[in-house]
Amino acid sequence: MDRKLLDILVCPLCKGPLVFLKDKQELVCKGDRLAYPIRDDIPVMLEQEARTLAAEDDSHRAGFARGGEEVK
């Protein structure tokens, strides 16, 4: 995933920061609890393609603690 692209991407819904989960190839918006997939190094920033994170699903926090990068 290109670092320059990661630096400019924000959540398409709330315009908030995203967390890049390298191991899952997802960009996670903590505020909206959505995980946007990355396919063939291309982020799919469509709400209908995003995975909704369940209330008990803290994989975005765990991934961040294991080395996920916060994207600003």
The count of domains in the chain is: 1
Q: Which residue do the tokens 């899952």 mark? A: 24
> Model confidence over 2-20: pLDDT tens digits?
888 888 999 999 999 999 9
Q: Tell me the residue range of the domain where 16 lies.
A: 3-71
Distance CA 15, CA 54 (A): 21
Q: CATH number for the domain including 47?
A: 2.20.25.10
Dihedral over Cα of 42, 45, 52, 15: its sign:
positive
Residues 14, 18, 7, 47, Cα dihedral to 10°? -60
Average pLDDT, the chain: 84
| C-beta separation of 18 from 37 below 8 A | no
pTM of the model: 0.76
> Model confidence over 59-68: pLDDT tens digits?
555 444 334 5
